[in-house]
Structures are given as C-alpha cells and as structure tokens.
Amino acid sequence: MFRNQYDQDVLTWSPHGRLHQVEYAVEAVAQGSTVVGCKSSTAAVLVALKRSSSDLATRHEKLFCVSKQVGVAVSGLVSDGYQIATILRDAAINSSFVYKQEARVSQLCAATTRKLQVRGSLFREAQYF
C-alpha cells in the first residue's frame, strides 16, 4: 500500500469509501505472529513465534526487557512494538530514578497511554493499532 492524502487518520474516507488506516491495521495484524503469555503465583512466561516471509528476510526480536520485573512481547509490526517498548523503558527508568523503586505495571501502562494519546491526537504522527 502507498500513502496518499486520505490515509492521515481514521476519520478521513477516500472517494472510494475506504478507510486506509483501518486497512493498514488489518495488514499489520496479518503480518504479525503469535505471542502467548502464562502467569503463575511465582513466575510468568512469554513465548513468541518468530517467522520470516522469506529466507532472505531478517528475523526480528519479539520479546523486550522493560525492567528487572517487566517484559513485553510484540505481535504485529516490530517497529511499532519497538517504539512502544522504548516508551515503557523510559517510564520505568524515570520511575526508578525519581522514586527509587520499580514502576508498577499500571504506572507503565498509564505513561504509555498518555504518550500515545498525544501522538494520536496529532494527525501527522503514526497511530498504533
């Protein structure tokens, strides 16, 4: 797919009656791979299926370490997931520096959603689906 004047946000319809951002999101889901997480009272496990579309394609990391106690798995476009993992890492580092303690998962989620909400409200920034 290519970019045009109708793919700036999810509210702009093309003359053909299409929402290009929705189509991009569907394509990202189709390119994604499976990620499964399991949690017990003492441990948690994240497993990601790494696949490539051809033998020449590079394999990308699907699991990211955010802090000593938090990790994140990406299913979809790795570049979007990498940016979100960077936001999570920044929030975790900020919490440990300012408050001298590990950030709670709810704090990391709140910091990430605040940052993504600001990006999503600007029409020229990429929106993550």
pLDDT of residue 128: 54
CB 72: neighbour CB atoms within 10 A? 19
* 60 has pLDDT over 60: yes
With 0.85 as the threshold, say if the pTM is over it: no
Least confident stretch, 10-19, 79-88, 106-115, 119-128: 119-128
Residue 26 dihedral angles phi and psi, to the nearest 5°: -65, -40
The angle formed by the CA atoms of residues 11, 13 and 19, to the nearest 5 degrees, is: 80
**What is residue 1's DSSP assignment?**
-
**Percent with pLDDT over 90 in the chain:** 21
- The pLDDT value recorded for residue 87 is 93
Comparing 103 with 34, the larger pLDDT belongs to 103
Beta bridge partners of 48: 35
pLDDT score of 22: 79
Helix, strand or coil, per DSSP, at residue 74: coil
User: What's the pLDDT at 96?
Assistant: 93
Tell me, what's the pLDDT at 24? 78
